Amino acid sequence: MLAKLHSIAISGIDAVPVEVEIDIGGGRPGQRIVGLPDKAVQEALDRVRSAIQNSGYEYPYRRLIYSLAPAELRKEGAVYDLPLALVTLMASGQIQADRGGTYLIAGELALDGAVRPIRGALAAAITARQMGLDGVMLPSDNAREGSAIQGIHIVGVGQLAEAVGFFTGNWDPPILPDSFPFNDEDHSLCYSDMRGQEMVKRAMVVAAAGSHHCLLMGPPGSGKTMAAQRLPTILPPLTVNESLETTKIHSVAGELQPGSGLMRTRPFRSPHHNASVSGLVGGGSIPRPGEISLAHNGVLFLDEAPEFRMPVLQSLREPLEDHVVTIVRAEGPLRLPADFQLLLAANSCPCGRLGAGMASEGFPDTQGVPESGCFCTPDEIRRYWRKLGSALLDRIELRIPLNSPGVLSPGGKAGESSGKIRLRVEGAIGIQKDRYKGTIRRNGRMSSSQIEKYCTLTERAAGAFSLAAAKLCLSGRACHSVLKVARTIADLDGKESLDSVHILEAIQHRRFGDDPYDILTQS
């Protein structure tokens, strides 16, 4: 007897329809799966048999041939356990139902018949709606995630018996809660914790408002990590479309907690410096999203950036420009979204002591290096910064030096809170939304034509910009970066045209880091 159900296979961040078929025939008893299954799918036969028997149903000891179509698509994971069990019961006559073919089914089975969560539940719901099906049957831990897709019935099951009961009409699924969590913000971090370092906090405001890439550099204990970790607290929450897109990526990567709904806060990814290229960019024998895709619509923070291997750092260059990662395999290219905000932190030198005793007005010259307690030679400092490379640094719009804050009194005055800062950031973002009308998200993503259209300079600003570009030998990309940052500063001030004060502040935020050795020579 033949039977057929719908399921999925994950390809990148999308779910591809897969038909699960079975043929029960006579002859010598046995079971086999065809259709490019991996080891986990082949092992599903043992899980399915135990789950059926332990749930009180009869397993047919006959010749069973399962097919997962299309045959040329590689199948991996335990997502087929539940559809394989249900299609077996349908073909053996233990389920008399005609609506099984109108539902997409995915789930992993335990030996006792319990249904375990899977990766890609949200992608499965999107695919089911595109196919015109009536609904999706998912593990109960994934049901809230799938319910974010409107116009399709989501059935969450915790046991194989519940899935059978739904198709036979003997069991009704529970009503699902709202897929949007409303209290998922972390209020333990706030910029009011930072005393002093006003230039750094100002740079963080500009970076958040325009989604500009940023480099923080200074001695250990100067507040680099502290400033970076608080950046998400001044970013606006994800919009509905951004939430769906971001949650889909994290679901496919298996990053969501069981029972969670859509993500509302922007992701903040901070990989360790021993990360590989594929771990950061994505890939593998079965391509999966890397850290830069998991940071999509959010922030990618690389602490101690020069400690990352050079190929890992240089792999960021194309995604920073294209906002997408293209992974090429023999079966075809795979495109993963990667529109993220890059945030780097680095010590001043390998030992970290360069600048530890600097005055607040800037870095010392070479004669001042021994007084700072630094043990590094100029060549060692050059090699340390050469890992970042000028091509990557040229794409970093804000380069912020930090100094040791000195002695701070525990009872000192607290700084401005993240909540107040976010109101200013959201005001500037609102101006950008009205300006671009959905073509791009932030000033940091402006194209050359948009820069020419929206970055109108006053006469004083044009003179200051020309002089600075000539003295600092700015590249074409660097000039565009200065104009983007100046546009964001003007938006924070509520100004339509860019004045000299906006240009000069943008240049001040960029002046360090064009040459790795300028950490010694700039003052």
| Tens-place pLDDT, residues 12-66 | 899 999 999 999 988 888 999 999 999 999 999 999 999 999 999 999 999 999 9
Q: Are residues 245 and 363 in the same domain?
A: yes
Report how far residue 129's alpha carbon sits from residue 146's, in angstroms, rounded to the nearest whole number. 11
Q: Are residues 196 and 164 in the same domain?
A: no
pTM strictly above 0.85: yes
Pair 66, 34: CB distance under 8 Å: yes
Reference 50, options 162, 129, 160, 134; nearest CA is 160
Summarised one tens digit per residue, pLDDT across range 215-261 is: 999 888 888 999 999 999 999 999 989 999 999 999 999 998 888 88
Whole-number Å distance between alpha carbons of 343 and 396 = 9
DSSP letter at 166 equals H
Answer yes or no: do 354 and 234 share one domain. yes
Same domain for 195 and 138? no
> How far is the C-alpha of 516 from the C-alpha of 184, rounded, in Å?
40
Q: What is the mean pLDDT of the chain?
A: 88
Q: What is the pLDDT of residue 24?
A: 93
Sign of the CA dihedral running 145, 147, 149, 155: positive
Q: Which helix (DSSP H) or strand (DSSP E) does residue 504 occupy?
A: helix 500-510
- Domain of residue 50: give its range: 2-168
Tell me what pLDDT residue 442 has.
93
pLDDT in tens, 102-126: 999 999 999 999 999 999 999 999 9
Q: What confidence score (pLDDT) does residue 329 get?
A: 80
For residue 367, count other CB atoms closer than 10 A to its CB: 7
- Distance between CA atoms of 83 and 107, rounded to whole angstroms? 7
Q: Do 254 and 397 belong to one domain?
A: yes
CATH number for position 153: 3.30.230.10
Write phi, then psi, for 307 (nearest 5 degrees): -80, -15
The pLDDT assigned to 406 comes to 60
Residues 137 and 106: their CA atoms lie apart, in Å, by: 6
| Residues 48 and 125 occupy one common structural domain | yes
Q: Does 130 fall in a domain?
A: yes
Q: Angle 240-252/121-131 helices, nearest 10 degrees?
A: 110
3-state secondary structure of 58: coil
- As for how many domains the chain has, the answer is 2
Residue 467 lies in a domain: no
Same domain, 143 and 257: no
Single out the residue in 168, 199, 222 at which a domain terminates. 168
Q: Is residue 368 part of a domain?
A: yes
> According to the model, what pLDDT value does residue 512 have?
61
- Tell me: do 26 and 90 sit in the same domain: yes
Task: Flag the least confident range among 379-383, 441-445, 481-485.
Answer: 379-383
For residue 173, cis peptide bond before it (omega within 30 degrees of 0):
no
| Residue 520: predicted pLDDT | 39
CATH number at residue 231: 3.40.50.300
- Distance in angstroms (rounded) separating the CA atoms of residues 337 and 335: 7
Has residue 516 got a pLDDT over 50?
A: no
Give residues with Cβ within 8 angstroms of 442, minimum separation 6: 209, 210, 211, 429, 432, 488
- 163 and 204 fall within a common domain: no
- Sign of the Cα pseudo-torsion (406, 411, 413, 418, in order): positive
Residue 185: the pLDDT is 60
3-class secondary structure, 470: helix
In order, the DSSP letters of 213-275 are: -EEEE-STTSSHHHHHHTGGGGSPPPPHHHHHHHHHHHHHTT-SPTT-----SPPEE---TT-
> In this structure, what token pair is assigned to residue 63?
């010749």
Does residue 473 belong to any structural domain of this protein? no
Residue showing tokens 């595109």: 130
Let me know if residue 459 belongs to a domain. Answer: no
Q: How confident is the model at residue 349, as a pLDDT? A: 87
Looking at the domain assignment, is residue 202 inside a domain?
Answer: yes
**Which residues, other chains included, contact 272 with Cβ-Cβ below 8 Å and sequence gap of 6+?**
none
Same structural domain, 162 and 21: yes
Find the mean pLDDT for residues 396-424.
79
Alpha helices in 133-194 (DSSP H): 140-146, 160-168
What does the chain come to in residues? 523
Higher-scoring residue by pLDDT: 21, 415: 21
Inside any domain, residue 427: no
Q: How far apart are CA 334 and CA 232, in angstroms?
A: 29
How far apart are the C-alpha atoms of 225 and 39, rounded to whole Å?
Answer: 42
Residue 515's beta-bridge partner residues? none
Identify whether 482 is part of a domain.
Answer: no
Mean pLDDT is lowest, of 142-156, 317-331, 396-410, 423-437, for 396-410
Question: One-letter amino acid identity for 414?
Answer: A
Domain end (from 118, 134, 168): 168
Q: Residue 262 and residue 244: Cα distance in Å, rounded? A: 7
One domain for residues 147 and 262? no
Residues 6+ apart with CB under 8 A from 509: 203, 206, 397, 398, 399, 400, 485
pLDDT at 410: 57
Contact 511, 469 (CB under 8 A): no
Whether residues 220 and 135 fall in one domain:
no
Beta bridge partners of 5: 20
